[in-house]
Amino acid sequence: MILSSTLDAIWIPVTLCIPFVLLTSTLKKVPGPWLAARTRWYKAYFDLICDGGFLKHLEWLHEEYGHVVRIGPNEVHFSDPSAFDLIYGSRSKFVKDPIVYNAFKQELSSFGLLDPHEAKKRREILSPLFSRQATLKLEQAIHEKVDKLVDRVLSYEGGMACNLFMAFRSATLDIITSYCFAKSFDTLDNPGFQHPILVAVLSGITVIWTFKYFPCLYLVAEHMPGWLMHRISPTSKGYTNLFGFLSKYLDMILADSSVLESADHETIYHHLLHPKLQRYQVPSKKSLLDESLTLLGAGSETVGNVVTTGVFHVLSNERILNRLITELDEAWPDASSYMGYQALEKLPYLTAVVKESIRIAHGVVTPMPRVVGPSDAFISGYHVPAGTVVSIGITFIHENQKIFEMPKNFWPERWLEHTSKDIESNFFIPFSKGPRMCLGINLAWCELYLLFANTFRKIELKVHNTGIEDFDFQQHWLPVFRNRQFHAYVRARQ
């Protein structure tokens, strides 16, 4: 026993040092800050002390060192768009970096599974629910929430400004819970759109870097008494409610799967608990809970942010606003009638506005790390040994001046030019690419068309006490906004 412990004490640090020794000799040719090549705490300083400030620093690093930068002892970032397919494309065999993805504590979800084969099986089970056909089948459920959003926003007519930042996020949270679980938290009903679960989801985004660098703190938080956690972090009460709701619902389903028969439509649990794949093991409760939280988080904040950002930019440019409203009025003369997703996606300028909103809002702003393997790779002119963590942030493509003219400007017309199809197929990647791309892409498109169209066809908006500077964000995997939330005065359009 003593000998075993002694060998462990010697072997563990030696094995940890081997990758560093092997990689340093090769990666020393990659340009970058001296300190970044020697310690991961260089990056941690910007993630933690600078409140998610590494993305802004990374932009400066590329200006200083070129299109390839070493950002850690074992980590390289690329800004050359050609690197994206090599790292994330369908032929890539690179796996997710466990240090980052385990920080989400959703290891048994389609997002958190590190084994590509296990992740593929999970996606094959869930994919039918998120196909275009399934989305069209459940469009009415989405539209009900959009109608409710319009009614709730218009309830502010003649009064105080409406908090659209929270309103749009309330809608997308209600949509994803209704779509996936056939149940809703009814966050749209909450006064001021301040539902505790939504507030908890938004505040919880910022803990990702803490759990990445100090994973032991998650264990502390997990075993901390609820009353103490709520005193330290009042917003955590919303998470307690969320976990409690999902846990009780899963207990009911696992005890008696016939509970699902009363659902209004198919849910993720219909697919996960009654899969059509052979030799498939039904997930554990922990896995089901992880999957639920993954879909809830991925499907609410990202879409909500795109709508918030896009609506503000449209309202900030009278020419864009008038052109969009004219197109909607002509195609949809009677606003009291229903205009569906398939009709809306045929409107060219609405489509351009939706795409430009997606481009400028980004989605995941943190470069998604992958581990090179099983063999060495050659990326952007550099030999990269197996085991190296590599990435390219989506912002470095969507804001690339060689691809998108005036990339910081909101300009929907770029998607109406003859070159837009080539750009879209090669460089428009908000949902990523390859085997780990966003599962809910069809649902997201449907939501965005319905939300943008109904907002501008039925509501007249006037921005209140909000400027472009309020859309500056910090990088905590997703964008986190520290300034004023987007408000507007509203009235019904005739």
- Cβ atoms of 160 and 465 closer than 8 Å: no
pTM of the model: 0.92
Instruction: Give the residues across from 76 on adjacent strands.
Output: 70, 390
Query: Which among 268, 230, 242 has a CA at the least distance from the CA of 185?
Result: 242
Count CB-CB contacts under 10 A for residue 261.
Answer: 8
Q: How far apart are CA 481 and CA 475, in angstroms?
A: 9
Count CB-CB contacts under 10 A for residue 210.
Answer: 16
DSSP 181-206: HS----GGGSGGG--HHHHHHHHHGG
Residues 152-192: tens digit of each pLDDT: 999 999 999 999 999 999 999 999 999 999 988 999 999 99
Show Cβ contacts of residue 44 under 8 Å, excluding neighbours closer than 6 positions. 209, 213
Residue with tokens 């949902």: 431
Query: Which among 431, 176, 182 has a CA at the least distance from the CA of 297?
Result: 176
Tally the C-alpha atoms within 13 A of residue 140's C-alpha that lie toward its C-beta: 3
Residues for the chain: how many in total?
Answer: 494
Query: Which among 359, 355, 349 has a CA at the least distance from the CA of 329?
Result: 349
Query: Which among 183, 162, 97 has a CA at the least distance from the CA of 389?
Result: 97
Can you read off the two tokens belonging to residue 218? Answer: 């998650």
Distance of CA 346 to the CA centre of its chain: 26
Query: Which among 449, 356, 469 has a CA at the least distance from the CA of 410?
Result: 356
DSSP 104-172: GT-TTSTTT--SHHHHHHHHHHHGGGGSHHHHHHTHHHHHHHHHHHHHHHHTTTTSSPEEHHHHHHHHH
* 3-class state of residue 487 by DSSP: strand
Distance of CA 311 to the CA centre of its chain: 19
Digitized pLDDT (tens) for each residue of the chain, 494 residues in all: 443 443 344 334 434 454 554 455 579 899 999 999 999 999 999 999 999 999 999 999 999 999 999 999 999 999 999 999 999 998 999 999 999 999 999 999 999 999 999 999 999 999 999 999 999 999 999 999 999 999 999 999 999 999 999 999 999 999 999 999 998 899 999 999 999 999 988 988 989 999 999 999 888 888 888 888 888 888 778 888 888 889 999 999 898 888 888 888 999 999 998 877 666 788 899 999 999 999 998 889 999 999 999 999 999 999 999 999 999 999 999 999 999 999 999 999 999 999 999 999 989 999 999 999 999 999 999 999 999 999 999 999 999 999 999 999 999 999 999 888 889 989 999 999 888 899 999 999 999 999 999 999 999 999 999 999 999 999 999 999 999 999 999 999 97
How far, in Å, are 151, 180, 204, 293 from residue 189 at the CA level? 11, 19, 22, 22
Q: How far apart are CA 454 and CA 489, in angstroms?
A: 17
Which element (helix H / strand E) includes 71? strand 68-72
Query: Which among 396, 403, 401 has a CA at the least distance from the CA of 423?
Result: 403
DSSP 388: -
The alpha carbon torsion through 305, 309, 310, 314 (nearest 10 deg) reads: 160
Q: How far apart are CA 260 and CA 280, in angstroms?
A: 20
438 among the known binding-site residues? yes
* 3-class state of residue 247 by DSSP: helix
| Dihedral class, residue 366 (left if φ above 0, else alpha if ψ from -120 to 50, else beta) | beta
- Cβ atoms of 355 and 428 closer than 8 Å: yes
